[in-house]
Copies of this chain bind each other. A is one copy, B any other.
Amino acid sequence: MARPRVPLISVDALVTAALELVDESGDFSLPKLAKRIGVSQSSIYNHVSGREEILELMRGRIISESPYDLDAADGWEAALGSIVRSYRDAFARHPRLAPLMVLQTVQDSQVLALYEDLAKVLEQAGFRGKDVVSAISTVDSFALGFALDLAAPDVVWAPPADGYPALTGALAQGASPEDRGGAAFDFGLEILMAGLRSRLQATVR
């Protein structure tokens, strides 16, 4: 076969298949991707510049599959909450993707739009100057860190039975690994909000 009348590959199909592979195994490779689509490895390069672009396309896909509605949000706290929750939900649906995103610069326009909204909301909240970037970094660190937690819910800390009594005790107190992630996220978001609120009161006054 050479050039078919209708293309065998589409970028969308590529991203879908790659995401399936990541969901199933935590990784993907071009040979496996090609096999899943039923196409040769090298033909992928007719649609995409390489592995990195596929990764970035996956980020855009999951972010756009988890939209947020700022119009429905009343006040900066609700708006910030809905952005961070949507980000978390995106990775909650594809937890094994988060570790792969870490080496990659954000280029996807959907994701940049999310950060743009974040900047607007924080300015609306009252942050000014350098504090805006600092606040974005803080929110971002929090959200990324939690997305990564989701990737390894039951193995983040695996202390041996002896030693580490405080850590072992704390883990025993918690709910199941899945619930733990959810509870910790809500807890963390509350901490984050309270912290930002208190910072605003300190500087505005």
Contact = CB atoms under 8 A, between A and B. Distances in A.
Contacts of A131: 187
B195 A115 contact: no
A23 interface: no
Interface string A179-205: 011011001101111111111000000
| Copies of this protein chain in the complex | 2
Nearest to A129: B173
Contacts of A183: 130, 134
A199 B192 contact: no
Interface in A67-95: none
Contact of A130 (B113, B120, B135, B175): B175
Contact of A174 (B109, B130, B141, B152): B130
Contacts of A130: 173-175, 180, 183
B188 A157 contact: no
Interface string A117-148: 01110110000011111111110111111101
B195 A157 contact: no
Q: Is the interface of A mostly helix, strand, loop or mixed?
A: helix
A166 interface: yes
Interface string A1-13: 0000000000000
B173 A133 contact: yes
Interface in A43-59: none
A159 interface: yes
Contacts of A103: 99
A133 B183 CA distance: 9
A171 interface: yes
A161 interface: no
Given A133-B184, A190-B195, A194-B198, 4 more contacts: A133-B171, A137-B184, A141-B142, A141-B145
